[in-house]
Structure formats: C-alpha cells, structure tokens
C-alpha cells in the first residue's frame, strides 16, 4: 500500500527511534511514555560491581587446632643485654596462666587474645602491659624494654630547694637533706622553688603508665602544721607537667601526727637525667608564726606502678594497691623546706 519508498521511510524512522532509545536509555523513554499515560516512573538502581568474597575475619583462624609457641623476652630499656629481674603474668582469653619467666615459652591457640603484665613480681623494675591476638600460625615473640627503678637516692641528689630569696642551702645543710633557709612571720606568704632530678638511665615513676594514660599516677605530697599555716597554707604547683592536678594523698603513705595536714598533686615520671620543677606557695597563720623544726615543710614523691587486684586479679595501677601495699620503690624520695 505504501510502496517501496514508503517502506524505506518507515524503516528509516524506526532506526532513528532505536538510536534515540539507546542514547537516552530505555528507562528514561519508559518513564517519559509512562508520564504521558499517568504511570509512575520506574527507578532503575545503578549497576554495581559484584562484591568479592570476604576475607577471614580478624582474630579468627582457618585451622584453630594449629598451636603457636609464645616466647616472652624483655630487656633493660637502656641496656639491651640486661634481663630485668622478675617474672611475667600472662592471661590467655582472660584465663590466668600464672607467672612465666623471661625467655620461657607457653603453647597457645591461634586467634586467642593475650595480656601480659611484665615483671609482675619484680622489686627493681617497673612493669608494662602488652595486649594482642595470637597469629594463625608460626611463633609469637612478645618483647618489651623496661625501666629500672631509681632507688635509694639521697635527698641532696634527688632535689634542689631554694628559699624565698632564691638561695639554696649551704653544702652541709644540703647533704643532710634539709634547708635552713626560710624565716616566716605571722601572716607572711612566700613562694619557694624546688627541682627534682632523675638518675641516669633509670626511672622515678613508671613511664609506661604515663604513656598509656591521660593523667599522672605518681604523687607529690607535702605535710604542714595546721597551727602555723592556714587551711590552704601549702599549695604545690608543677611548672613542666601539664597534666598535673590536685589529688588525694595515699593514706598509708601520707602518715603524720595529729595537728598536721597534707596536700598532694599528681606528677609525671622522671626518666634518666630528666628534671621536674615546681613551686610551693606558703601562707603562714595570721596569728601563729611558723617556728623552727616543728613547722618544717616535708615533701615526698611517691612513684606508681602496675599491680594485680588481690580479689579480682585485674590489672590496676597507682601508688598503692587495693589493700594499701606500696607499689613503688622501697626508699622514700623526699625533700624538706626547714623553717629557721
């Protein structure tokens, strides 16, 4: 009816329509037509790649029957050839495995979690806590460098103390650990400085706790006579310890006779030749002037360490444990501002 030319024209228009559909997409044409007919448009989701097969989840292993040998080793932080004294406490999947000596091994299961409290029973090194997951095969060799205690330091070596005029005691007074430098009348207020000094290649306070926490666990505390000084008559401020804050004094360490009070601040560890500076603001009572000897200001530095709770066995940290056992060094690090 249309003839050859008519057929060729229709074929031409059909080809053009197919090209349009291919260019703008069949979904869009369908939506346009559907819109003319009052039909809701079809939403075609974007094409995404086929997801890959997920890998083995972290902490699990294909063959959990394979065992792994875990060998513990540690060394002095400054002397790699020196093995710290003390044994290491190990927990596997929360179960206490007891003490494991340095260089000794235990067999563990792949994918298990482990916690190590290094040198748990040491009396000369600060501890450290290591956590991890046992690999799926091979060997596991946890290794840590630990800090030795800076123990039994004479007061004259540990601290420099100045009076309100910026003077330090003479050599005889310094050697005895006391400083006959401060004379105060009733109502006087002075600010005196002190500087605490570390011991070469050793530590005062556990640096590992400082690194792991957002606050300090060591404590500096000073004792004063309630009669000679006001209720807030001794204020401690550390000049190079940004996280230092007023804190409670450890009751079993901050002991004194009746009529005396304590004030304490948290303090960072002192490592090797490091120094810690601070000031004491002293305010004498308005009526009673401080007197020699009885009203001396004696200050202490109490170091913190890791330990285990005596009941729950969890790892704790501080100057004393849950039953008030001193966790730090055996000797007392102290310095005295002596009233003249």
**Beta-bridge partner residues of 114:** 92, 132
Looking at the fold, whether 13 and 31 belong to one and the same domain comes out as yes
Domain's final residue, options 121, 146, 171:
146
Q: How many domains does the chain have?
A: 3
Looking at the fold, whether 141 and 169 belong to one and the same domain comes out as no
pLDDT tens-digit profile of 104-118? 999 999 999 999 999
Looking at the fold, whether 282 and 210 belong to one and the same domain comes out as yes
Could you tell me what percent of the chain has a pLDDT over 70? 78
| 296-to-178, 260, 279, 282, 336 alpha-carbon distances in Å | 9, 11, 16, 11, 7
Please answer whether residues 253 and 302 qualify as being in contact, where contact means their C-beta atoms are separated by less than 8 angstroms: yes
Q: Residues 225-249, buried b or exposed e (16+ Cβ, 10 A)?
A: beebbeeebbebebeebeebeebeb
Confidence of residue 60 (pLDDT cuts 50, 70, 90): low
Q: What is the mean pLDDT of residues 31-45?
A: 34
Looking at the fold, whether 124 and 22 belong to one and the same domain comes out as no
Instruction: Please give the pLDDT value at position 169.
Output: 59
pLDDT at 103 over 90: yes
Instruction: Please give the pLDDT value at position 276.
Output: 97
In a domain, 43, yes or no: no
Q: What is the mean pLDDT of residues 145-158?
A: 89
Rounded to the nearest integer, the mean pLDDT of the chain is 82
In a domain, 55, yes or no: no
d(CA 321, CA 312): 12
Looking at the fold, whether 310 and 177 belong to one and the same domain comes out as yes
Looking at the fold, whether 322 and 184 belong to one and the same domain comes out as yes
Q: Among the listed ranges 85-94, 250-259, 287-296, which one has the minimum average pLDDT value? A: 250-259
In a domain, 60, yes or no: no
In a domain, 114, yes or no: yes
Please answer whether residues 64 and 110 qualify as being in contact, where contact means their C-beta atoms are separated by less than 8 angstroms: yes
Confidence of residue 227 (pLDDT cuts 50, 70, 90): very high
d(CA 310, CA 232): 36
Looking at the fold, whether 282 and 228 belong to one and the same domain comes out as yes
Q: What is the mean pLDDT of residues 293-314?
A: 94
Q: Among the listed ranges 54-63, 146-155, 199-208, 269-278, which one has the minimum average pLDDT value? A: 54-63
d(CA 255, CA 257): 7
Please answer whether residues 74 and 145 qualify as being in contact, where contact means their C-beta atoms are separated by less than 8 angstroms: yes
Looking at the fold, whether 333 and 188 belong to one and the same domain comes out as yes
Position of tokens 């513990």?
A: 72
Q: Among the listed ranges 62-66, 67-71, 118-122, 157-161, which one has the minimum average pLDDT value? A: 62-66
| 52-to-48, 49, 55, 62, 233 alpha-carbon distances in Å | 12, 9, 9, 18, 70
Q: Among the listed ranges 13-17, 184-188, 302-306, 309-313, which one has the minimum average pLDDT value? A: 13-17
More confident residue, 255 or 71: 71
Instruction: Please give the pLDDT value at position 175.
Output: 52
d(CA 12, CA 3): 14
| 54-to-58, 134, 229, 299 alpha-carbon distances in Å | 11, 21, 70, 61
In a domain, 96, yes or no: yes
Looking at the fold, whether 187 and 330 belong to one and the same domain comes out as yes
Residue-range definition of the domain harbouring residue 76? 68-146
Instruction: Please give the pLDDT value at position 182.
Output: 83
Torsion over CA: 301, 306, 309, 312 (sign): positive
Q: CATH number, domain at 230? A: 2.60.40
In a domain, 47, yes or no: no
More confident residue, 27 or 63: 63
d(CA 55, CA 308): 38
Looking at the fold, whether 169 and 318 belong to one and the same domain comes out as yes
In a domain, 58, yes or no: no
Confidence of residue 164 (pLDDT cuts 50, 70, 90): confident
Instruction: Please give the pLDDT value at position 234.
Output: 96
d(CA 277, CA 238): 6
**C-alpha closest to that of 194 among 313, 123, 110, 297:** 297
Looking at the fold, whether 244 and 128 belong to one and the same domain comes out as no
Looking at the fold, whether 127 and 161 belong to one and the same domain comes out as no
Please answer whether residues 170 and 181 qualify as being in contact, where contact means their C-beta atoms are separated by less than 8 angstroms: no
Instruction: Please give the pLDDT value at position 179.
Output: 53
d(CA 205, CA 238): 16
């Amino acid at each position: 009816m249309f003839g050859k030319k008519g057929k060729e024209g229709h074929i031409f228009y059909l080809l053009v329509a197919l090209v349009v559909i291919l260019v703008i997409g069949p979904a869009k044409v369908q939506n346009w037509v559907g819109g003319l007919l009052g039909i809701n448009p079809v939403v075609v989701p974007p094409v995404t790649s086929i997801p890959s097969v997920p890998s083995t989840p972290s902490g699990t292993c294909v063959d959990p029957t394979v065992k792994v040998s875990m060998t513990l080793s540690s060394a002095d932080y400054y002397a790699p050839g020196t093995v710290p004294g003390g044994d290491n406490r190990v927990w596997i999947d929360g179960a206490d495995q007891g003490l494991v000596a340095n260089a000794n091994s235990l067999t563990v299961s792949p994918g298990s979690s482990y916690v190590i409290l290094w040198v748990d029973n040491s009396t000369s090194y600060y501890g450290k806590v290591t956590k991890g997951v046992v690999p799926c095969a091979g060997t596991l060799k946890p290794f840590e460098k630990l800090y030795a205690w800076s123990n039994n330091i004479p007061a004259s070596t540990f601290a420099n103390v100045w009076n309100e005029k910026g003077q330090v005691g003479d050599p005889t007074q310094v050697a005895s650990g006391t400083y006959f430098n401060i004379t105060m009348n009733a109502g006087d207020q002075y600010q005196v400085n002190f500087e605490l000094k570390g011991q070469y290649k050793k530590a005062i306070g556990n640096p590992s706790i400082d690194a792991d926490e957002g606050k300090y666990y060591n404590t500096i505390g000073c004792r004063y006579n309630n009669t000679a000084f006001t209720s807030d008559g001794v204020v401690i401020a550390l000049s190079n310890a940004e996280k230092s804050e007023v804190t409670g004094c450890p009751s079993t360490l901050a002991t004194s006779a009746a009529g005396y009070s304590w004030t304490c601040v948290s303090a960072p560890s002192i490592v090797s030749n490091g120094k810690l500076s601070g000031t004491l603001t002293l305010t004498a009572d308005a009526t009673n002037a401080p007197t020699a000897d009885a009203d001396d200001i004696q200050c202490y530095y109490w170091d913190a360490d890791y330990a285990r709770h005596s009941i729950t066995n969890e790892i704790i940290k501080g100057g004393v444990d849950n039953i008030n056992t001193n966790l730090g060094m055996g000797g007392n690090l102290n310095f005295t501002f002596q009233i003249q």
